[in-house]
Amino acid sequence: MGAPYPVLTLYRYFAWADAMRENYEVARARDIPRIEEAKAEGKFYPYHLAMHAEMYMCYWFSTLQIVIEGWPQLKYNDPRLKELLRSPHKRLLQKFRNAIFHPSDWMDTRINELVQKGQESYDWVTAVTDAYRAFFASTRELDEKLGMEGKVD
């Protein structure tokens, strides 16, 4: 990372990933009923309307991969993250991120390898995100405190 404050650098990317997760959850909650209603009527819900949840999920997962790649540089020992990052899902997430930002095909196998794991992969990504959220909680508190006090250094 090379920055004088590597924790803050990684925190920025985590904040982006977590914001994408929040946007994903809002978009999914909004779109699922619409998609189900269209299905019930024998129609397709237009992709340009339904793609928001997918887009946010892809950016959440991909940005989380950036955090995972930067994590070893911090040299922290977090038992929960250590265990989670031993998962084979880690490699699948890396391939997924590469496919999102370097696409080769609509049905890219690098995306499908993670997606085919279904709920298992989603639960792993969520657990990793939650573990990073716990790790960065004090950084976020400091960020909010300084922001509220209007201090910028």
DSSP 65-130: HHHHHHHHHH----HHHHHHTTSTHHHHHHHHHHHHHS---TT-HHHHHHHTTTHHHHHHHHHHHH
Supply the pLDDT for residue 45: 81
Supply the pLDDT for residue 3: 59
Tell me the residue range of the domain where 105 lies.
15-149
Whole-number Å distance between alpha carbons of 51 and 85: 29
Residues 6+ apart with CB under 8 A from 143: 11
Instruction: Report angle CA 40, 46, 52 to the nearest 5 degrees.
Output: 110
3 is a domain residue:
no
33 is a domain residue:
yes
2 is a domain residue:
no
Supply the pLDDT for residue 149: 62
Specify the number of domains making up the chain.
Answer: 1
Whole-number Å distance between alpha carbons of 126 and 89: 12
Low-confidence ranges of the chain (pLDDT < 70): 1-4, 148-153
